[in-house]
């Protein structure tokens, strides 16, 4: 494992050059890997493992996602099974169910976690808050995690493009003495770019904070606030959307993703530079207290409990679909549909 400098702080990372795919295959050559769940992360991780030459099967309840697995080439009775049968066959059980589904499926999985097996997660939620989830693994197994920093769709797309999505990794329980090599081999097998070390606790807290913050919750709140101010002051939907979202996602984000925010600033007009430098401070000062409040809520387990409570309601799916439909039907995202149609072909 190499030490890399991140802004003056050293962190442990593992690269594909250091731990090549051939080594990963050797480590897991006698293992049967069962991917449990075929929703968000399941397809990307299982297909990448299969394409990379690992012995992988899928465990999924019958329904839409089971049918999707069949469409993706998993064969019922050969590489596609019910959850319990897949868990029984596996030496490594990759629990890629949603956090809500883990709670209901855990009692069915636990009997098959026999001595020496490995239980794998891509999120620290169930283990970190196991006083709330009830997911307490046996002491005679490895409990490990590889958490790709993006969606399963991105993991698969980048894999097919010959690239890798960065992932964090953690060891919660090392019974066999092989937990680390199993973890890194799986991380390489699913198509990680590089892997950086964390803990189940840190991953769970940072992940929930990020999703509610800059990755999803805060960004929608920020974009909507600017869009509304422009619309309320007489700007058209097209102008408001282009100045709020389109320019950000299509022009500016690729610049600072490539070389940093300073480089993006340097490639904008002097008027834009001056305004950004003057206003980033007031935005920071206004947003940081909200971010701290969010972080405290996550760390205390309040956000986890809210998720558990809402996801366990019998009408949760219907309520969720209505909330997502309301978001889709909002003026800003209806304007987005028209803007996307007007983009040059290929964008």
Rounded Cα distance, 234 and 294, in Å: 34
Asked if 156 and 130 count as a contact pair (C-beta separation under 8 A), the reply is no
Rounded Cα distance, 86 and 94, in Å: 10
CA-based nearest residue to 85, from 67, 69, 108, 68: 108
Counted residue by residue, the chain has a size of: 347
Q: Rounding to the nearest 10 degrees, give the CA dihedral for residues 31, 32, 33, 36.
A: -150
Q: Which residue carries 């690729």 as its tokens?
A: 254
Rounded Cα distance, 329 and 3, in Å: 47
Out of 123, 235, 284, 328, the active site residue is 123
Asked if 38 and 199 count as a contact pair (C-beta separation under 8 A), the reply is no
User: Strand pairing partners for 2?
Assistant: 13
User: Strand pairing partners for 142?
Assistant: 118
CA-based nearest residue to 169, from 311, 285, 1, 39: 1
Rounded Cα distance, 9 and 23, in Å: 29
Q: In the Cβ-directed half-sphere of 347, how many Cα atoms lie within 13 Å?
A: 11
Does the annotation count 284 as an active-site position? no
Q: Which residues are catalytic?
A: 123
């Amino acid at each position: 494992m190499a030490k890399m400098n991140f802004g003056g702080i050293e962190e442990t990372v593992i690269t594909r050059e250091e731990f090549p795919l051939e080594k990963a295959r050797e480590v897991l050559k006698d293992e049967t890997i069962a991917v449990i769940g075929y929703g968000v992360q399941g397809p990307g991780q299982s297909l990448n493992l299969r394409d990379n030459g690992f012995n992988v099967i899928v465990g999924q309840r019958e329904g839409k996602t089971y049918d999707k697995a069949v469409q993706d080439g998993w064969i019922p009775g050969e590489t596609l099974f019910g959850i319990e049968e897949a868990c029984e066959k596996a030496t490594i059980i990759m629990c890629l169910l949603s956090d809500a589904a883990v709670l209901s499926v855990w009692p069915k999985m636990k009997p098959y976690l026999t001595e020496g097996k490995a239980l794998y997660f891509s999120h620290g939620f169930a283990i970190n808050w196991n006083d709330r989830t009830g997911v307490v693994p046996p002491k005679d197994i490895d409990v490990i995690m590889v958490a790709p920093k993006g969606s399963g769709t991105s993991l698969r797309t980048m894999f097919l493009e010959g690239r890798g999505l960065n992932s964090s990794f953690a060891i919660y329980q090392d019974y066999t003495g092989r937990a680390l090599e199993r973890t890194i081999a799986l991380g390489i097998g699913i198509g990680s770019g590089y892997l950086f070390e964390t803990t189940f606790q840190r991953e769970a807290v940072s992940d929930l904070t990020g999703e509610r913050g800059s990755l999803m919750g805060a960004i929608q709140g920020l974009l909507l606030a600017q869009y509304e101010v422009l619309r309320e002051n007489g700007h058209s939907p097209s102008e408001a959307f282009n100045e709020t979202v389109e320019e950000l996602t299509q022009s500016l984000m690729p610049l600072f993703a490539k070389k940093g925010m300073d480089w993006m600033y340097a490639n904008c007009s002097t008027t834009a530079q001056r305004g950004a430098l003057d206003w980033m401070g007031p935005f920071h000062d206004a947003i940081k207290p909200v971010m701290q409040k969010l972080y405290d809520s996550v760390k205390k387990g309040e956000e986890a409990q809210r998720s558990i409570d809402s996801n366990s309601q019998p009408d949760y799916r219907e309520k969720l679909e209505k909330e997502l439909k309301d978001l889709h039907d909002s003026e800003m995202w209806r304007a987005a549909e028209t803007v996307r149609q007007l983009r040059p072909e290929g964008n």
